[in-house]
A = this chain, B = another copy of it.
Amino acid sequence: MIDARAQVEQTLTAVLNRARNGNCPPRLAAAMDHAVFPGGARIRPQLCLAVGGACNADNPRVALAAAAAIELLHCASLVHDDLPCFDNAPLRRGQPSLHAAYGERLALLAGDTLIVLAFQALAESITESPARAAELFEIISRGAAVPAGLAAGQAWECEPRAGLRDYQRAKTGALFVAATMAGACAAGSAAEPWRELGERLGEACQVATEVRQGPPSAEKLKHLVGLAVDAIPACPMAAELRLLILLEARQYMPTVHSRRVA
């Protein structure tokens, strides 16, 4: 996925450079940069592009706009999750979290700004394909917000009685579902059949982050990835997408690596 990753970085850089153009408050500009770069694995935007590719997307600009929007929403949510009122996390990806580095006020504002920039980036798709753009806004808004998106997932933490399943599905799964469905929609394919793949990969990602706890999680991860690839709808490049997901998932499997080390 080297090309996809490079395309994602390029698009995110362009979005941020454009936003900081002119008389932008310099510390806010720096805080936004800190929130988005160098970034993590960029799984969600690459997944969006991979699904778009598997559906033979005729216009890569639409999928790229969607991919960038999803990653910016993800970055914004990490910044706000790290704030003292939620996780109060001093570190993120081995660096000081945004509020640790720039203070709580700029972390709040940078997160807000990244949400706006996500939709500003997505709006690039309107001139390319209005019909797909309208559906993309719906898919990605629902992934980010309510009733069952990312913000809803966080909000379940604030309910006296919340189902763990509702919480995890919304918090981790929603942007994965947005990524697969947006990828298909950007390619002009029906989005709904791609929901299950997103849900499965969201679950798998949840388990992948726990995988260092030991072999049972690794087994569970394998099982979930198997379910995920089985959920790939019929599309021109289904076999390639299947292979891509399996290869990507292998990076999170501790088996090979730990045997070599141990």
> Footprint of B on A, CB under 8 Å?
19-29, 32, 76-77, 80, 83, 85-86, 102-106, 108-109, 111-113, 115-117, 119-120, 123, 126-127, 130-131, 133-134, 137-138, 141, 144-149, 151-152, 154-159, 162, 166
Contact = CB atoms under 8 A, between A and B. Distances in A.
Nearest to A26: B159
Q: How many copies of this protein are present in the complex?
A: 2
Q: Which secondary structure dominates where chain A touches chain B?
A: helix
A28 B137 contact: no
A158 B103 contact: yes
Contact of A108 (B24, B83, B105, B159): B83
Given A127-B130, A151-B112, A166-B23, A145 B120 contact: yes
B134 A117 contact: no
**9 tightest A-B CB contacts, nearest first:** A24-B147, A123-B137, A130-B130, A28-B155, A120-B141, A119-B119, A116-B145, A22-B147, A25-B155
A76 B155 CA distance: 16
A20 B147 contact: yes
Given A29-B146, A103-B158, A105-B86, A116 B141 contact: yes
